[in-house]
Each structure stands twice: as C-alpha cells, then as structure tokens.
Structure 1
C-alpha cells in the first residue's frame, strides 16, 4: 500500500520505517523536502506526497495541522483515508495546555475536510511504542476513533502491520471520541514524569462480567 506521511519528525520517521519493513511503499511529505534529504527515507513535498498516497497519515504538530492540510487543498485530500496521530499542544514547553481544549485535532480536520474520512489512533504513546508494541512489558491497548467503518478497518490492518494484534485494538466510537485520546496527553506527561520514561502504554482491563456497575459514576 502507498502510505504518505505528512511530517518528517520522530513519529513520522518511526511509522515510515515500521510500515516500510512490513512491505508498504512509504513517502514522507515536507514543506521543505530539499532540506530533508538525510533521513534515509524518500521525501517529497506535501502535494506530491498526497497525490502518491492511497492512505495519508498526519504526523505534523497539531497546532498547525489544519493550516498545513489547507495548503494541500480539499480536492487533493478528498476520498483519501487520513490517519491522524497528532496532538495539539499549546505554545508552552511543559505541554500542560492543549490547543483544542474543547474539541480535538481530529474533529477539526474532519470538519474542515468532510470528504476525507479521518481515523484517530496511536496518539496515546510515544514513537517507540507505536512501532514496537512487543518492546513493552505485556500487551496494551491502541484506540481508534472515526465515523467511517471502512476507514477504521483499513487502519486496523495497518496497525496489525506495525505489530499490534487485533486483540489490542479498541474502537471507542465516532470522531468525537478522539477528544479522549488527545486529552490523555496531559496524563501522559504526568506518567512519563513518574516513570522517568516516555516509552510506555496503557491497557484497558475490563471488569468481571456481572460485577461492575452500568454507570461510570457508580
């Protein structure tokens, strides 16, 4: 599959390497590709990357993603599945503020580009865990949010190619549930401080059938 990754940072490069190892055709998209020729991966400009791709991945800083996608243009994005792994953080260095505090980046992208089905995933972990889930001490959970079932199914296949078994996938609902994934960034930073490491993930552990309360408040 031809995968275009918008961005050339740690996350984009890690995902590109992971999918490339699984046999996919990957291309990184940059606003200045001539300055990113030392990555050991193919790089093109954003428009060329979008045109090349069957599936796009937004791995750009969340506070500029929508603007960047507008520069590519809605017609070029229409009909392509867009996997969004970004989180919009504020301008402070301690990552204690979100740039979409009452929404999510994924919702903003979906609203701006209604003909481009958006699936949110992989934003609750660092790039190492994204591409090497077996490096963690035991199984953990990767979440999916989005409104289009077919796009979610395609995303599931790509997650499996990164080493995430189907048993680890948890579909939590429509695109509005991306807020929960992105807002986890605030807790993520606290956990990272407590552990002294950014490489970890969480596992959803269901209650024993019949013993739990039906209400989250219960």
Structure 2
C-alpha cells in the first residue's frame, strides 16, 4: 500500500517505520524539508513536501501537532479528497487545576477528528492510534496479560476502516471497531484520561475488567 505521512515527529517515525517494515511504500512530508528527510532516512522511507505526501498515498497519516492542523489543511486539504486519512492527533494541554507537582492534562478541543474532516472535504477520515504514545507503537511489545494490544478505530466509511484495520494488523495490533467519526471525540477523551493516570503512576488497565468479567444491564 502507498502511504503518505504528513509530519516528521515521533508518531510519524513509529507508525511509518512499522509500515515500511511490513512492506508498504511510505513517503514522509513535512513543512521542514530537513526534518522530512531525517525522518524518512531513519525509517527507510522516501521524503517529500506536504503536497507530495498528500498526493502520494491511498492512505495519508496526519501526524501533526494540533496547532499545525489548520495551516496544513489549508495547504493540502483539497488534495485529500477521496483518500483515507488517519488522524492520530490529540489536543492536550497541561491541567493547571491539578495539585502542585502533579502531571495532568486536559483537552483543549473536544473533537479534533471532526475538524480534520471539515478541513479536508471528501476525505475518508478515520481516528486511530491516538490512545497510546509513539513509544508504544515503536516498541516490539504487542501482547500484555495474554491480550493483544488493541487500536480503536472511528470512521464513517467502511472501505477506509478496512484499510486502516489492515494497517493496524500489519503492526501486529488488534483493530477494534469503535463506531462512527462522531464517536472519535470519546477516543480523544479516553486518551487524555488514561495518559493522566499513567503519568500519575496508576495502571489504567486495572480500571477495566476483562470482557468475560464485564457486565451491565440497560436501564
């Protein structure tokens, strides 16, 4: 599969490197040509401009700081029409209300994925890979407590969801259908909540019982 990556940071390298290793053609584009070249060299991909990355792939990964999204989408948003766009971004900011000495975060924006969809009309946006940090995707560890690490996917286009599910499996991860793009904001909230727990030294996995022990009734 041909994959364009817009961004040259840790997430671009982690996911892009995994896809290169899985045999996909990857082109990294960034606002800085030097950063794009450095990231591409590090993972064995090609390097190019933002426009080249947007036009290269059947699938385009947006691996950008949220603050850069508007500028980039103004530049290449129209090129993304008809393409599968993976949004892995989160709008994090320090939680200034947290007790002194506590590292915690809040969301500065409730629904980044919906803004991406609005800025790239005609694109088939899928929210994915936003719950864990780049270091997790770069790691070889995939199974914890005998359970494969799962990646929730939110999107409205079935073909795009299948493409992203395939790319998830190529990273030896378990894709999980999590509903339409309107539910992506909940993934973003889950991310800020769980990352806050991890930074506070708590095991976020312990919050949720395994499926066989989970139960609830509809009121």
- Tell me which interval the TM-score lies in, with the shorter structure as reference length: 0.7 to 0.9
**Residue number in structure 1 paired with 2:132:** 125
8 Å CA contact 2:7, 2:36 repeated in 1 = no
Please state if 1:195 is matched with 2:204. no
Unaligned stretches of 5+ residues in structure 1: none
8 Å CA contact 1:84, 1:120 repeated in 2 = yes
**Residue number in structure 2 paired with 1:184:** 190
**Residue number in structure 1 paired with 2:171:** 162
**Residue number in structure 2 paired with 1:84:** 87
Separation (CA, whole Å) in 1 of partners of 2:4 and 2:85: 9
Task: Identify, as 1 or 2, the structure richer in helix.
Answer: 2
Is the deviation greater in 27-36 or in 151-160? 27-36
Give the alignment partner of residue 206 of structure 1, picking from 166, 190, 211.
211
| 1:121–1:34 Cα change, 3 Å | same
Is the deviation greater in 90-99 or in 126-135? 90-99
Q: C-alpha deviations, 1:24-49, integer Å up to 9, x for none?
A: 01111110113543332432110011
8 Å CA contact 2:29, 2:36 repeated in 1 = no
Unaligned stretches of 5+ residues in structure 2: 97-102
8 Å CA contact 1:141, 1:201 repeated in 2 = no
| 1:115–1:81 Cα change, 3 Å | same
| 1:169–1:37 Cα change, 3 Å | closer
8 Å CA contact 1:106, 1:178 repeated in 2 = yes
**Residue number in structure 2 paired with 1:37:** 37
User: What is the CA distance between 1:66 and its match in structure 2?
Assistant: 3.2
Q: C-alpha deviations, 1:35-86, integer Å up to 9, x for none?
A: 5433324321100111221210011012321331211141x11111101111
Give the alignment partner of residue 65 of structure 2, picking from 61, 67, 75.
61
- Two-structure CA RMSD over aligned residues (Å): 2.8
Is the deviation greater in 133-142 or in 15-24? 133-142
User: What is the CA distance between 1:148 and its match in structure 2?
Assistant: 0.6
Q: Secondary structure at the match of 2:15?
A: helix
Separation (CA, whole Å) in 2 of partners of 1:35 and 1:194: 32
| 1:138–1:201 Cα change, 3 Å | farther
Please state if 1:26 is matched with 2:34. no
Separation (CA, whole Å) in 1 of partners of 2:95 and 2:187: 20
TM-score (ref. length: structure 2): 0.82
**Residue number in structure 2 paired with 1:7:** 7
State how many pairs are aligned: 207
Please state if 1:138 is matched with 2:146. yes
Task: Identify, as 1 or 2, the structure richer in strand.
Answer: 2
**Residue number in structure 2 paired with 1:173:** 179
Is the deviation greater in 45-54 or in 64-73? 64-73
